[in-house]
Amino acid sequence: MKLLLIEDEQSLRESILSYFSAEGNICEVACDFHAAMEKISLYSYDCILLDLSLPGGEGMELLRALKKMNKNDGVLIISARHSLDDKVDGLNLGADDYLVKPFHLSELQARVTAIIRRKSFDGNSTIVFNEITIDTLAMKINVNDHLLSLTKKEFDLLVYFIANQRKVVTKNAIAEHLWGDEIDLSDDFDFIYTHIKNLRKKLIEAGCKDYIKSMYGVGYKFENI
């Protein structure tokens, strides 16, 4: 998962960052309104964890801006505000969920996972694509009922491809999703080719069709054939 944490409280920010990073997720951080606005304008995320009271502005305004951009990032509001009006306003503006502070990190993770599952895989934790079956909770992949061994990056890459099947995804989008926003400063994305080459080889050797197509000069497309 690629997440954006918009939170100004340092101790909470560090706790959330440590918790999700330890699970292998890509976690970007914004500590104030303006940094958050720049992040949501430039990049895309599986889920944004949004605090409402921020230095420099109001979290609800970030939510309005996100919706005006017609972006499909999941949004989970995390706030100490517990009034019914705040919850209703946030959900009506397009947030996918609302969690009142303080909370257990395990509950936060479960809610984030549920949002991503609803948005990308119709609420299912098991993804089936022809002969490929992915258990996203156990992080296991079976091809024709045989377990397939992938690295963490290869696993994330396959899930990303299937979530965006039939779409052309650029090398830059793949790099940002799997390595984080700072990767866009890189001049060379050849390492992506290596990961895709290895994933394609493992899938074909396991009995899959060659679903990953190179789009010359643009990126890649994962499509049924």
10 Å CB burial of residue 133 (0-12, 13-18, 19+) is middle
pLDDT at 86: 93
Cα-based distances in Å from 208 to 59, 91, 92, 97, 143: 45, 41, 43, 37, 7
> Which of these, 15, 11, 78, 13, lies nearest to 51 by C-alpha position?
78
pLDDT at 119: 85
Residue ranges in the chain modelled with pLDDT below 50: none
Domains and CATH numbers, the chain: 2-120 (3.40.50.2300), 126-222 (1.10.10.10)
How crowded is residue 17: how many other Cβ atoms within 10 Å of its Cβ? 17
Buried b vs exposed e over 71-86: b needs ≥16 C-beta within 10 Å? eebbbbbbbebeeeeb
Cα-based distances in Å from 139 to 21, 148, 185: 16, 11, 30
- What's the pLDDT tens digit per position in 139-154? 999 999 899 999 999 9
pLDDT at 122: 77
pLDDT at 207: 94
Three-state DSSP at 111 gives helix
Full DSSP string of 29-74: EE-SHHHHHHHHHH---SEEEE-SEETTEEHHHHHHHHHHTT---E
pLDDT at 6: 98
At residue 17, what is the residue type? L
- pTM over 0.85, yes/no: no
DSSP-derived letter for residue 211 is -
pLDDT at 12: 96
pLDDT at 224: 86
